[in-house]
Structure 1
Amino acid sequence: MPRQPTIFLSHGGGPCFWMEPPRRFGPNAYDGLRAYLSGVLASLPARPRAILIVSGHWEAALPTVSTSAAPSMLFDYYGFPEHTYRLSYPAPGDPALAARVQALLGNAGIATATDATRGFDHGVFVPMLIVDPDAQIPVVMLSLQQDLDPVRHLVIGAALAPLRDDNVLIIGSGNSFHNLSTFFDGQVAESEAFDRWLTDAATAPDAAVRNQRLAQWAGAPGARACHPREEHLIPLMVAAGAGGLDPGRRVFHDAIGNKLISGYAFG
């Protein structure tokens, strides 16, 4: 079985694919992201037997693994049209994979917890409804550690790398730009500067250099303007850490609401 890459992707804004974009974005604002997400499975060396997804919408004191065999829905967005609260993503969980995740992290000296009731938050079900609309691939969720330490999450990703050789796809679901207070201001300079820096860091030929740069992301040009709080960027650290020595590459790039959005794969 070929080794799976790891992926950091944008999950868009709320239930963006099932509603009209803001008028100032234009009617086709999310078409590029939808097209990318719909092609993710075809881009892989094989159809994954399961997906481990780290969402920017789940934080816990310890990295926490979802263990439900049939996760429910968690509508963790507010003020959207009523029909967006009737979306359903009935993918199965995978308790055996959840146990393997815990074991790999434990072997690396990383304390973990489990959650048997956690449902799919919109950092999971929004992209996955496009990636695997038939909901056939089992999905296990892993939380961020609430300290949001980039080095810690690079280490977490590195511990999970063996899953890639077991045909498990590791996805970090967040956004390369996440500042809701400035999303509509029409300014592009800080978004462009940070996107340029982030792409250079994520695609550095040497993985050690890549991870060192990513660990220091907060000092990058425009960093805090793009991420006043970094929960949507930290899933990238898990994906990069799990990428091991494999090179990074940008696999998605678009402007949404004048802000540059990029996605990356490792391997």
Structure 2
Amino acid sequence: MKKLPTYYISHGGGPWPYMPDFRAQMKVLEESLVAMVNELGEKPKAVLMISGHWEETAYTVMGNPVPPMVYDYYGFPPHTYQVKYPAPGDPALAERVKSLIEAAGLPAAIDPERGFDHGTFAPLVVMYPEADVPVVQLSMRTHYDPLEHVKLGRALAPLREEGILIVGSGLSYHNLRQFGAAGKVPSEQFDAWLQTALAIESQEERTATVCDWTKAPSARIAHPREDHLIPLMTALGAAESEKAYCVYHEKNIFGGVTASSFRFGELT
């Protein structure tokens, strides 16, 4: 089994793949998600998704073999609260993830009831529409400590050689009050910083710079609450010595916002 890269993706808004007009607006993002699957080639054994929509006091792994849906969005058409993404869970992988986290000295737990939130099912319904790849979600911790989430990624790194695709799912600019024209300048500024930071060649310097993200231009405008940025730290930590590649970049999502996604590691 080849060693898989890791990804940090901007996952779009709410249940966008299930709304034709909204999906058309996400065309560039959708194309990037399909391209990710194509560049990987063979399907992974499973996807481990760290979603920006789930946080707990300990790193918590979804242990449900038949995950339900979590409709964690508001104000969308009624049919979007009936959609199903029927990918199976993987309880054995959940236990493996928990053991790796605990071996790194970090707190971990299994949630036997948790289902897929839209940070997971929205991108995956585009990537794997047949829902034929097992999926396990992993929470962030509520404190959002950047370096600890990098350490989480380090702990999960062995999974890359076991056929497990590690994906951090968030949005590189996430300020619901400043989308559209109001988000144009701050999203451009933060994205430019992020591109530069991830291109730093020194592993130690790159990790330190990214973890110190609040010093970036427009940092707290881009992320008033960093839930959609922290999954980046885990994707980075799981491929910390490897190069970052921008795999999605758009300057007009959500009416004027710049957003990006990244791959860490080579395609072998």
TM-score (norm 1): 0.95
How far did residue 145 of structure 1 move?
0.3
Q: Which residue of 2 aligns with 1:249?
A: 245
1:258 to 244, 247, 256: 256
Two-structure CA RMSD over aligned residues (Å)? 1.4
Q: Which amino acid aligns with 1:127?
A: P
User: How many pairs does the alignment contain?
Assistant: 263
Structure 2 unpaired stretches of 5+: none
Residues 83-92 or 13-22, more deviating: 13-22
Asked if 1:97 corresponds to 2:70, the answer is no
Q: Which amino acid aligns with 1:260?
A: T
Q: Which amino acid aligns with 1:35?
A: E
Aligned residue runs from structure 1 range 171-186, under 5 A: 171-186=167-182
Q: Which residue of 2 aligns with 1:216?
A: 212
Q: Which residue of 2 aligns with 1:2?
A: 2
Q: Retained in 2: the 8 A contact 1:11–1:127?
A: yes
Distance in 2 separating the partners of 1:21 and 1:9? 21
Distance in 1 separating the partners of 2:81 and 2:259? 26
2:133 to 128, 137, 160: 137
Q: Which residue of 1 aligns with 2:12?
A: 12
Residues 102-111 or 172-181, more deviating: 102-111
Distance in 1 separating the partners of 2:131 and 2:93? 17
Q: Which amino acid aligns with 1:13?
A: G
Distance in 1 separating the partners of 2:66 and 2:100? 23
TM-score (norm 2): 0.95
Q: Retained in 1: the 8 A contact 2:189–2:217?
A: yes
1:83 to 45, 62, 79: 79
Q: Retained in 1: the 8 A contact 2:8–2:235?
A: yes
Distance in 2 separating the partners of 1:94 and 1:200? 37
Q: Retained in 2: the 8 A contact 1:2–1:46?
A: no
Runs of 4+ in 1 over 3 A off after TM superposition: none
Distance in 2 separating the partners of 1:46 and 1:11? 22
How far did residue 186 of structure 1 move?
4.2
Distance in 2 separating the partners of 1:248 and 1:6? 10
Among all aligned residue pairs of Structure 1 and Structure 2, give the percentage whose two residues are the same amino acid: 45
